[in-house]
Structure 1
Amino acid sequence: MTENKTEQKSARKVLIAMDGSKHALFAFEWYAKNVYKETDNVIMAYCAEYNINVPTTVLLASPVAVANIVEQHEEAVLKVFKKLDEIANRYKIKHTLERIERPHRPGEAIVKAAHQQNIDLIITGTRGLGTIRRTILGSVSDYIIHHARVPVIVCKHGDHI
């Protein structure tokens, strides 16, 4: 019985912020090679974002257009989930896939999910935005670093080192 309690205490809850990009995949691979422990409880979190390039008037006038956009979005999410499953299985990492709904910006949604699930460590990649773009668009990794209540590892892809 004490062995089980010790095992539970040593298990970390790790949230890996994933969007399917090469930067996120690099962060996952870095985690898998350098930080992963078999006792880790790995949650690969995908913060889905609707990519709507249709004028609002069309959306308001056509329920069919809205249904098509939602269907395309769901297909894209499933495609990313399949990719995430494949990479985790390649490294033989037990994991769960989680879709983080996004009423907020991605960084806020990730930090909120980490807090609600009592995560011990957050892993994220970085797109390597330049200073001006980062200032205008904001940086998901910057937000996570400054607002998370747990340690955060930000992995820079070789393109941006």
Structure 2
Amino acid sequence: MSQEESKTSSVILIGIDNSENCEHAFDYYAKHIHKPDNEVILFHVSDQVQIPTYFAEGMIFAADDIRQKVEELRARNKQLEKKYDAKCTEQNMKHKFFLVTEDPNGPGHAIVEAAKKHNADLIVVGSRGLGAIKRVILGSTSTYVIHHGHIPAVVCPRQ
């Protein structure tokens, strides 16, 4: 029997952020797909605090403002982790939380790479439901995951 045949559990990577769409995707996974032996990887691509790279005459570098923004971002990320930790615990899901800072190639790329790194069997993401023009201009995380992912993906449209 091969290793693939003997595998009874799956690794599921769920892309999360603070949006209702991601929460809907998580809830869909929990209700319709989750199996008790699955391991859930909660994966968040964090924003970064933007720091000015140059200063014009008269501009003031406010280190305290930057520090405050960094702390606010850390608090939001910690709150997100706690929220999904509670949701997983409530559902008795084996889970881990991973956070990466912004990927220069976009969140879709970060999700696909994380799925490879963690040997995920399935990716679950929410969709913002952008129209065709906005999707072309802004890009789409779910579209990237579908076209570049090496494993099946579930994209849950917004409600």
What TM-score results when the alignment is normalised by the length of structure 2?
A: 0.85
Structure 2 residue identity aligned to 1:91: Q
Local SS of the residue matching 1:149? coil
Local SS of the residue matching 1:81? helix
Spell out structure 1 runs of 4+ moving beyond 6 A: 5-8
Q: State percent identity of aligned pairs.
A: 34
Task: Return the match for 1:22 from 12, 15, 20.
Answer: 20
Superposed displacement of residue 122, structure 1: 0.3
Counterpart of 2:29 in structure 1 is 31
Q: Does 1:61 align with 2:61?
A: yes
Local SS of the residue matching 1:10? coil
Matched length = 154
Structure 1 residue identity aligned to 2:88: A
Structure 1 residue identity aligned to 2:28: W
Counterpart of 2:142 in structure 1 is 141
Local SS of the residue matching 1:61? coil
Q: Does 1:112 align with 2:113?
A: yes
Please tell me whether the aligned partners of residues 13 and 43 of structure 1 are also in contact (alpha carbons under 8 angstroms).
yes
Superposed CA deviations along residues 59-87 of structure 1, whole A, max 9, x for unmatched, are 98233332222111101111111111122
Which structure has more helix as a fraction of its residues? 1
Q: How does 1:1-161 map to 2 (within 5 A)?
A: 9-50=7-48, 52=50, 57=55, 61-104=61-104, 105-158=106-159
d(CA) in 2 for partners of 1:60 and 1:147?
A: 43
Distance change >3 Å, CA 60–CA 143, structure 1 → 2: farther
Distance change >3 Å, CA 16–CA 150, structure 1 → 2: same
Superposed CA deviations along residues 117-152 of structure 1, whole A, max 9, x for unmatched, are 111110001011111211110000000000010110
Structure 1: 5+ residue runs without aligned partners?
A: none
Please tell me whether the aligned partners of residues 13 and 119 of structure 1 are also in contact (alpha carbons under 8 angstroms).
yes
Structure 2 residue identity aligned to 1:135: V
Superposed displacement of residue 14, structure 1: 0.6
Distance change >3 Å, CA 80–CA 8, structure 1 → 2: farther
Please tell me whether the aligned partners of residues 20 and 84 of structure 1 are also in contact (alpha carbons under 8 angstroms).
no
